[in-house]
Structure 1
Amino acid sequence: MADDELLVHRAGGRLSLVLNRPRARNAVSPTMLDALVYEIDRARTDGTRVVTIAGTGDAFCAGADITSYAEPRGRRDELEEFTRRARDLCRAIETLDAVTVAAVDGPCLGGGFELALSCDLVIASDRARFGLPETRLGLIPGWGGTQRLTAAIGGPRARRLVLTAELIGAVEAVDWGIAATAVPPAQLGSELDRIADDLLARAPLALAAATRAIRGDARRRWPTEAAEHETRELLDLFETRDGAEGVAAFIAKRPPRFTGS
């Protein structure tokens, strides 16, 4: 599948996926989600050994396209389908035999961060920023982010990021174990290519076995009641006045007026 919102290139066992909505900071729209689902599903059977995910412009991904969430009350079925498909995409990325690498430049927020957390390796530019800011909108993460972040960095730090909606930079991301390395922005592309080439030089069966062994805990952990609970909580919040207000305020670029209802 080829689509302008997702740039796709296959060569020599590598699948390169580039999120391509720079004016929206590469936010995931329904169209982009469809393309990502298709390409990741295809990668299971086409001989792909390395998948790289990056973004165009000055952002990796700002999360779900919030305009898709406009006036969320009364649209539960529609929002549930989008949320569950995005959650399943993250799960599919996490369980590929191919090694997955996210190259993060600029904002990596919300669903974008959840996509990155699903990958085996994250490399960052010095200007990368990571966070799950959903509570600012009266919502919570819904693509498995609360579970993967907690597994990656532990409960105290995960609670800090989720509850306060704080953003952290590349240095902290490396220190906390979210990212493997940080490089100047101009070197991010070449570093991604270097890592991909190194991975492709490894014995294919050994590489696949290594990814399965490392991810063994993740395979046992998913699907979980906790992940389903996260999704249900998000969908319930879409039905609240505060959820609708948070989305409306974000779109209007004004402070939200939450009432606890």
Structure 2
Amino acid sequence: MTPPPSLTGDSAVLRLSSDGPLAVLTLDSPPMNLFDEAMWAAWADALDWLTAHPPRALLVRAEGRVVSAGVDVRVFAELAPEDAEAFWRRQLGLTRALEALPCPTVFAAHSLTLTAAFELALACDLVVATPQARFGLVERKVAFTPAMGGTQRLAERAGASRARELVMTGDLYRASVLADWGVVNALFPPPSFDADAHAYAMRLATGPTRAHRATKEVVRRCMDGGVPAADACLPALAAAVAATRDHSRAVTAFLAEGPDHTTDYAGH
């Protein structure tokens, strides 16, 4: 299936492409990849399409000097107070839709990543970055609070104290620091960053897709309801994975060739 023209044309602020089993979303709205109505509309289109046509993995990346300078401040100036709840409910829905995709998702940050972009990064399963990349939830500069779910997702990854610190100070934090906090999963050097991030995501895209989906579900159940909730769903999830062709072929290859077998996974 071909993505809609709004995500593939030369003027698209968010491009959706694919490399075999890997879908790639690229922010490309120079010079700052700001989140304005056009960018949010593009994300809505992209997530609608990805939800209907889930890939085996998704890589989110950006073109340009920065990943994103965050929300266009004109959005706040033009948003009427009586419309604010519905507006931010829609934007939070994007975060939740990204989080709910049934495949591994990777956010690649090569440089500055602020507010809405950082919040979407926190909705991804894994975050990779250059050590020098900087992240921030800087809404305090406009007397606001992150409204796309970043605060709670940061607390989930790094703890409540760190979430309060980052949001209340509005400071910028390097990826090397956030890696120590457990927010960033892998650091790659700038010269090879694009290739390294792509390879990292492709490894997931060519992996046991149904098993990865089950892993996402177990983690989410644990985060929402603790270990008992994860335990309650696990037997059924394990049974579903045990019935997949990837599992059957991998077990056969393991017995014949050992743990270093090179079986190709088909995603089913």
TM-score range, shorter chain: 0.7 to 0.9
Aligned AA (2:156): A
Equivalent residue number for residue 246 of structure 2 = none
Listed one character per residue, the Cα deviations across residues 46-93 of structure 1 (whole Å, up to 9, x for unaligned) are: 241111111111211222222222254xx1244444322211100111
1:5 to 13, 29, 39: 13
Deviations 1:6-35 (A, max 9, x none): 111023222111111121x21111111111
CA contact 1:130–1:169 (8 Å) conserved in 2: yes
CA distance 1:33–1:133, change in 2 (3 Å): same
Aligned counterpart, 1:189: 194
60, 67, 70: which one pairs with 1:63? 70
For 2:51 and 2:78, how far apart are their aligned partners in 1? 37
The aligned residue for residue 148 of structure 2 is 143
| Aligned residue number for residue 97 of structure 2 | 92
- Out of 125, 135, 139, which is 1:130 matched to? 135
- Contact kept in structure 1, 2:92 and 2:148, CA below 8 Å: yes
Q: 1:131: how far off?
A: 1.2
Question: Relative to 1, partners in 2 of residues 1:167 and 1:207: Cα closer, same or farther, differing over 3 Å?
Answer: same
Q: Structure 2 residue aligned with 1:204, among 184, 205, 209?
A: 209
Structure 1 position 161 matched with structure 2 position 166: yes
Aligned twin of 2:24: 16
* SS of equivalent residue, structure 2 residue 52: coil
Q: Distance in 2 between matches of 1:141 and 1:206?
A: 33
Bigger RCO (CA 8 Å, 6+ sep): 1
Structure 1 gap ranges (5+):
222-261
2:48 corresponds to which of 38, 41, 46? 41
Structure 2 letter corresponding to 1:152:
R
Q: Do the aligned partners of 1:18 and 1:53 also contact (CA within 8 Å) in 2?
A: yes
Any conservation in 2 of the 1:153–1:178 contact (CA below 8 Å)?
yes
Identity %: 33
User: 2:54, 2:102 within 8 Å by CA — same for their partners in 1?
Assistant: no
Shifted more, 6-15 versus 75-84: the winner is 75-84
TM-score by length of 1: 0.78
**TM-score, length of structure 2 as denominator length:** 0.76
| Equivalences, count | 218
